[in-house]
Amino acid sequence: MTTDLKRSFDVEIVASRARARSASLRYTPGGKFVLSVPAGTPEKWVQEFLLARRGWMEKTLQKAERLAGLRRITEGAVIETGYYSLQVFADANLRYPQYRVVRDNKERNSIFHLAPEFFLAENAEKLYLHLEKYLLSQLVKFGSAALLERARYWADLHKIEVKDFFVRVQKSRLGYCTFDDRIMLNGRLLFASQRLQDYVICHELAHTKHKNHSKRFWAYLEKLFPGAKAADKLLRDSAAYSMRTSPRPAATPLLKERGSRRRNSVSRPSSGEGAGG
Ligand SMILES: [Zn+2]
């Protein structure tokens, strides 16, 4: 007797409507698979179908777990970027969804005191998005100048005239170049490595000459930024421009309340870190 793969993988079988003739298997967030099959499909066939896709199901589950782990923020975690850092603590005096922020803009860090329920698995995503939004606002505030300086550096290096560089926060586009050569850089780039920031800057600079993605555009971009295609591929990994967490055990707060002196200085991460490497 072989194992029942429906059970070992939590597969829900859905008999599809009238004339459907093919089967399809998909993963749904929360760890479940849904297998749609034509009505009346024999059990033996279902088991064989799942057996053939066992490897794919295992990989899919592993990937989902890895992603969930990456986004899970534990109590005491410190989230550091080059321009701002956050530390999170559970505070039993707060009722979910209450929180309290103690910030020290001079030192560029904040402590979040959060209702303990924020650290439950079912609220992990909410907490992550909440902190990411806050951190992004601080990054734009404190990091934009450096990003713009970097952009001007590349423009000068390649002697490209740009009317204006500016920083905005957008959902999808990391940058664009207007018809009259004004270049937007997405504030989310401040989450990415220096190399990816440089790539996006050069990509937009190349658009001052070619307002398309033709072969000539890529050839020109390759001159401005050798390895452009590879960098472009890295950008497809959305984690390159979202908040990355590196949980640490609960420790001394980065800053003390009421303006007393901080314990640790916040250093910038090395430039070769993370997805950009
Ligand atoms: Zn483009």
Taken in order 180, 216, 173, 160, the sign of the CA dihedral is negative
User: Is residue 169 within 8 Å of 186, Cβ to Cβ?
Assistant: yes
Has residue 28 got a pLDDT over 80?
Answer: yes
Which segment of 16-20, 94-98, 141-145 scores lowest on mean pLDDT? 16-20
Ligand 1 center–CA 182 separation, angstroms: 13
Which segment of 118-127, 196-205, 266-275 scores lowest on mean pLDDT? 266-275
Of 139, 89, 107, nearest to 242 by C-alpha is: 139
pTM exceeds cut of 0.85: no
Superfamily of 78-276 according to CATH: Metalloproteases ("zincins"), catalytic domain (3.30.2010.10)
Ligand 1 center–CA 236 separation, angstroms: 13
Ligand 1 center–CA 135 separation, angstroms: 27
Mutual angle of helices 54-71 and 43-52, in 10-degree steps? 60
Ligand 1 center–CA 207 separation, angstroms: 7
Ligand 1 center–CA 120 separation, angstroms: 41
Mind listing the pLDDT tens digit for each residue in 204-219?
A: 999 999 999 999 999 9
- Residue the block writes with tokens 């039993």: 92
Ligand 1 center–CA 203 separation, angstroms: 6
Token pair for residue 276? Answer: 């950009």
Ligand 1 center–CA 56 separation, angstroms: 34
Ligand 1 center–CA 173 separation, angstroms: 9
Residue 172 to residues 228, 238, 242, Cα–Cα distance (Å) = 20, 10, 12
Q: What percent of the chain has pLDDT over 70?
A: 83
Residue 168: is it exposed, middle or buried by C-beta count within 10 angstroms (0-12/13-18/19+)?
middle
Ligand 1 center–CA 84 separation, angstroms: 29
pLDDT at 39: 86
Mind listing the pLDDT tens digit for each residue in 134-155?
A: 999 999 999 999 999 999 999 9
| Mean pLDDT score, 41-68 | 87
Enumerate the domain spans of the chain. 5-71, 78-276
Ligand 1 center–CA 172 separation, angstroms: 13
d(CA 96, CA 28): 28
With b for 16 or more beta-carbon neighbours within 10 A and e for fewer, the 68-79 pattern comes to eebbbbeebbbb
Ligand 1 center–CA 251 separation, angstroms: 44
Ligand 1 center–CA 213 separation, angstroms: 6
